[in-house]
Structure 1
């Protein structure tokens, strides 16, 4: 662990949920919303921090007087009332007028709180010596792998857990308030009415200001399944501070607001606030959970950038309004909570190292943010990230989303929808692919700019990944001709002599063009050739497969011989015109962190070595040695700043042997979280586990709640999609590989081998893999898993194989490629087996 400033236990201790308190709460904004629905952010001390639900990012948008309040009266004692938040943190300056009163900051709060993040659940424990109840709150939105419909519901669910440790009955009321901001930013003429239905009751909020086809049309709902309610459809309309005074006086003195179930309508440009109160008597020793749902429905998505257009959100094809959303949640609540909690418990019962588990769990939350959109037919569409008031860099950018590995495994149907759209609308007749998909869906892309070499070649590897995960032959066949066209476009512009080396002008994720051979583009190209060879052979196109393989072998040989300098692979600059000295924004002799990105993909997809394996390992060691800094205090960065001072970070490029250009490529001095995760996972694949975990810990230490939000790793915008490269840490640490076409799954953990557990997810099912010194288990939690072969990291003979209590016949043999160099057992079943939900395959070994 040379040059690693962390103790071994800091890197390798088994992960557990992180607890945030004190100043660590200041930056927390935990996203709660469905995939492609927008979200509400829960702040560190329990405040509803941001409402980004109006079909675009709205950083800083909060709803006036929208908070929770708890009244509790123990026996004959004086009642205690608290805003259900910890002490107000952050800055007390505001905009020069102090802390805002509009969120209840000036009212009594709980004296202490702790925030526990276990995405998709957030939990806050509240403490106050005067409160007779033990109080905690959980918040979540359904997150169920493979179930993208129920994971795309526009709702935030809050569960208030109240337990009575006293010897008296405690009478309590939980108040939930919501401002009717329907129509934002053009509010007014909002209607609030009380509704009582079979599954939920509460407030329905609409607007008369906007027609049903307007982008401003929509609805909100504040509901609960609780039956004993106090309702106030409209707070007092008055001047100065009367409104909040009136609410607090009623809530704190009587534990009940003046009942008003009449429908109300606000004036133009005005808004009203409504409340529901959940009333309960809690006996000594009793625990009660009070549920509150905030749902939203803004059906008409407006393309607010470029040429204007409007279409329906995916969720608007399923639900009719916000109360209909709440009705669905209420009816299915037990299942939605159970299945979401099953995923959370599975993920956090893993024995992955703490930095890795933190990175994986926190960054899958990006799927629940405004970075993600679902088009009317359910197709997934993503920004790179989000500006405060708009998306940043549209079009599910191919070279950025190359890095994101969470959705392909957790929601493979959504990931396949991107590939289908890419090959339907993003390709010109000659094979040129734009790297930003145009909207509305169905608009054909205009090939008016460079194709992105990394995006286009990475797309072919992603097709192979999606096919491995799903096993959907019909889907592969439907796009195969265009996949080949996309690959062979390289022979027209990048590799015209078909020698396996990309030599032309190569646009890439750094927003510039590399000129001449380099392994960032080259590794993607070699990986695409190998992936295409595999698919071509499967589809019976052996001549085409042979051609791809020949070009691959030629390119591999040339790059190994001509670009490797003994420590890493360099760029051979070949200007399209002019001289090397005149060409700006190259890296030349530099050590590029992304130079082996195609090999990272190949490791994940079990494609083997794209280059000489010794050179690959040496290169990855050099990237860590030269590019990762445990302290950036001495680093000069004139570019964008994502890490600084004493923080650790991986630079995009360094020039250890000199030769740094006067003007290196843009971003070269920056630190990008997504590339850090890509390099970290690849280091782990190459056996440099401590180095990979050190990079990961450096990323997560920067996002500690004090300086940055743990659930927002930004780059060119908030919630940056590239950070979902963190999911590849799970794949690397578990040694996971899967092929649905071959019905084959493999595991080979590199940590905690005698007590290993981690989540896995593929197209047909998800569950847990566990192993100890004597056995391995594959448990399916939901769906199913059909297998012909299982690969496990054991050298001993099998003692028995059991599925659902019954013995299974199988043939076990050592790794066929070697006799002594590894401990690996391949188990082939006489007939394919199917592990169903709730079943476990157990393999015992003679150890």
Structure 2
């Protein structure tokens, strides 16, 4: 952990109590009764999209380490371990259970901490179906809590869950480990014995397929090993391997706890996960202990599991905190065309895939330190009472996608460890593109704020591609469908900023700009967004990293020059009559509000970058071009209240929610007014009156396109609310001092995600007036942090 992270810990405790409810959980955490179903939940609108439903929870796992999550009913259900692959499936042997017994009573009570049960008699001897609503789930990512309150459990026990995702930390934030700290308190007048069981399936080899479930997962050759080292006890789950170097699916899981004075750890090394489970439950339900059986064998196809239990007693009024850890070591990522990469955490733990025990030990030894560091990071925000309570929680919970969004962080096997590791988020699992640039314009803001070196690395990676060409052809799907015959396009042209850094099925970071729905070479927003993000990273990291600007300057100039080919003499690149920007099903023609506004921002960013670097020729050129472009933009599109969608007569009157995206970035980075301030305020007022308040009940966010008569534009994307668009608009409202409206707009998103439609920890790209969604687990909603990064410009 670096010095800044440690400094957080030193200041944490001052004034801390005001941030927490009586149960010790922050007041700003989002809460839901354990296992409570949701009525009228949202559903997918597009056939083939992922829709696992609302049984979700905050994920664990570091950047690029692979992640999984336990839902708020208590099952480990969602798995993002294999790079770019989403699995949603439950192995019921992956569970927590609790035993409690009051001193002097003949028997105790044991219960699996799941508001559900296996469907086919699996582990039939176990006591399932923890009562719905007997406690509460809370989340403030990267932490979440399970607050168990059942009348048959006399001691009050809360589970705190997290991984060490910590700002400005580029080591522990990469770790494949999850910490589970059990906070137990005895409010009674009698001594209570408490035991918590953690059982785990041997999942070695399970993350080999591209399917969304574990059907056909291999078990042959799996085996479990009991370990006892310096007071640490647990089980390592491994498999037989063909050679020394691990395959992508080779590696280990481990579960572990520390045996300390007053805390006893017992174990069952192996049992059949699909059996009746008596080998575990008959012992645990009797007295909270396991039989300390270290029997181990190699699977001949049967599904294996192991378990540990931590047992302790609490005197009346006594409190105790007991940590447990799940760790995993699956060091290799292999993409579709065969190239293998080592995950970032292997810089610290090696690449042989046999270090889950070591990783688990570090988690146990640093559990308190990591917890304190997370609390210290969050404290200034969650205690800021000038902001709504729901908003403070949403800020952190929408960060989940930074680790859980198919995130990759690593370097090619055999490469020099001195070279920087590549990093990228997936746009989403339905649109599995790495680093999608038009979307990361919104999504990358918290990455820049809290892990700036990673964000700069991503932009450097994009910069390296700008002046390169990939000449192979791909099918232009949208144009092919429009014309009825195949239309091909070059993968990547010189000067075009790529849409993405590749796909998991291909050779990402080496082969970029995957051909697909649109020919993105001639999109009118990508190059401008790249220029703006480069300048943004320079400004918002203190205006000190001149080397970063210098390194990316050739790509910035090339990006601006490339767009000028679409300028027909008026200073503004014109859209080409197809969906040539991030709204990739919404046709644009001529000068347009969205792309044109981004162009104005890019010219100002180019001008200021040139000024910093002393490139006076470029500075003068961009300054003159901006003056010309601004004049054209206003004269062509301003209608007295807002800027027209484009110059196509059929779009006359369309009010686009994202029309001032360029101005949003200009205010965020101090570039000033791209259009007069009075025009900005007029636009914001119009969008609020129409796109927000005349869409649905006014509490859904800002719909992308409204007509001047109050009807929604008849286009599939215009009819949607995009979380990222709404957040950019809200941030601009806030920067101009229109705060009440800005929070109302964002609350529309909160209402849909966390209250009415059940999109927690799978926030979609878009929903319609019914609240039904498209493209869950999307990265653009992380742009919520734009609200926190906007200076007041009023």
Q: TM-score, normalised by structure 1?
A: 0.75
Residues 1:602 and 2:666 are matched in the alignment: yes
The change in CA–CA distance for 1:518 and 1:136 in structure 2 (over 3 A counts) is same
Contact 2:529 2:602 survives alignment (8 Å): yes
Partners of 1:219 and 1:508 lie apart in 2 by 43
2:488 paired residue number: none
Among 455, 461, 482, the alignment partner of 2:532 is: 461
Give 1:730 shift.
Answer: 1.7
Q: SS of the counterpart of 2:327?
A: strand
Partners of 2:788 and 2:711 lie apart in 1 by 37
Q: SS of the counterpart of 2:153?
A: coil
The change in CA–CA distance for 1:111 and 1:622 in structure 2 (over 3 A counts) is closer
Contact 2:580 2:588 survives alignment (8 Å): yes
Residues 1:378 and 2:390 are matched in the alignment: no
2:476 paired residue number: none
Contact 1:230 1:277 survives alignment (8 Å): yes
Contact 2:466 2:559 survives alignment (8 Å): no
1:61 paired residue number: 89
Partners of 1:86 and 1:243 lie apart in 2 by 17
140-149 vs 22-31, which deviates more? 22-31
Contact 2:712 2:718 survives alignment (8 Å): no
Instruction: Provide, for residues 177-210 of structure 1, a one-character-per-residue CA deviation record: whole Å limited to 9, x for no partner.
Output: 0000110133321121112234743111111156
The change in CA–CA distance for 1:104 and 1:148 in structure 2 (over 3 A counts) is farther
1:627 paired residue number: 691
1:677 paired residue number: 727
Contact 1:21 1:113 survives alignment (8 Å): yes
Q: SS of the counterpart of 2:146?
A: strand
The change in CA–CA distance for 1:100 and 1:414 in structure 2 (over 3 A counts) is farther
Instruction: Provide, for residues 108-141 of structure 1, a one-character-per-residue CA deviation record: whole Å limited to 9, x for no partner.
Output: 5587111222222111211122222111111111
1:29 paired residue number: 57
Moved over 4 A (4+): 97-105, 107-111, 444-449, 503-506, 657-661
Partners of 1:111 and 1:198 lie apart in 2 by 40
Contact 2:424 2:434 survives alignment (8 Å): yes
Residues 1:220 and 2:253 are matched in the alignment: yes
Among 652, 656, 671, the alignment partner of 2:708 is: 656
Q: Which has the higher strand share?
A: 1
Q: SS of the counterpart of 1:385?
A: coil
Instruction: Provide, for residues 803-846 of structure 1, a one-character-per-residue CA deviation record: whole Å limited to 9, x for no partner.
Output: xxxxxxxxxxxxxxxxxxx8xxxxxxxxxxxxxxxxxxxxxxxx
419-428 vs 21-30, which deviates more? 21-30
563-572 vs 319-328, which deviates more? 319-328
The change in CA–CA distance for 1:602 and 1:449 in structure 2 (over 3 A counts) is closer
Among 715, 721, 726, the alignment partner of 2:779 is: 721
Partners of 1:59 and 1:565 lie apart in 2 by 49
Partners of 1:509 and 1:699 lie apart in 2 by 20
1:127 paired residue number: 149
2:221 paired residue number: 189
Partners of 2:360 and 2:588 lie apart in 1 by 51
Partners of 1:562 and 1:367 lie apart in 2 by 40
Instruction: Provide, for residues 602-638 of structure 1, a one-character-per-residue CA deviation record: whole Å limited to 9, x for no partner.
Output: 11112111001111111111111111146638xxxxx
Over aligned residues, Cα RMSD in angstroms? 2.9
The change in CA–CA distance for 1:71 and 1:668 in structure 2 (over 3 A counts) is same
Among 413, 438, 448, the alignment partner of 1:399 is: 438
Partners of 1:707 and 1:222 lie apart in 2 by 35
1:149 paired residue number: 171
Unmatched 5+ stretches in structure 1: 1-13, 575-579, 582-586, 634-645, 737-747, 749-821, 823-847
Residues 196-595 of structure 1 mapped to structure 2, 5 A cutoff: 196-198=228-230, 200-208=232-240, 211=243, 212-227=245-260, 228-235=264-271, 243-267=276-300, 269-304=301-336, 307-320=337-350, 321-351=355-385, 352-376=387-411, 377-387=420-430, 392-404=431-443, 405-428=445-468, 430-438=494-502, 439-443=507-511, 449-470=520-541, 471-492=544-565, 494-495=566-567, 497=569, 499-502=571-574, 504=576, 507-512=580-585, 514-573=588-647, 587-595=651-659
Partners of 2:83 and 2:362 lie apart in 1 by 21
The change in CA–CA distance for 1:257 and 1:107 in structure 2 (over 3 A counts) is farther
The change in CA–CA distance for 1:244 and 1:660 in structure 2 (over 3 A counts) is closer
Unmatched 5+ stretches in structure 2: 1-25, 39-53, 207-216, 412-419, 470-493, 766-773
Q: SS of the counterpart of 1:296?
A: strand
Tell me how many residue pairs correspond in the alignment.
Answer: 682
Q: SS of the counterpart of 1:703?
A: helix
The change in CA–CA distance for 1:70 and 1:210 in structure 2 (over 3 A counts) is farther
The change in CA–CA distance for 1:20 and 1:548 in structure 2 (over 3 A counts) is same
Give 1:723 shift.
Answer: 0.2
Give 1:552 shift.
Answer: 0.8
Q: TM-score, normalised by structure 2?
A: 0.80
Partners of 1:44 and 1:465 lie apart in 2 by 37
Partners of 1:630 and 1:291 lie apart in 2 by 51
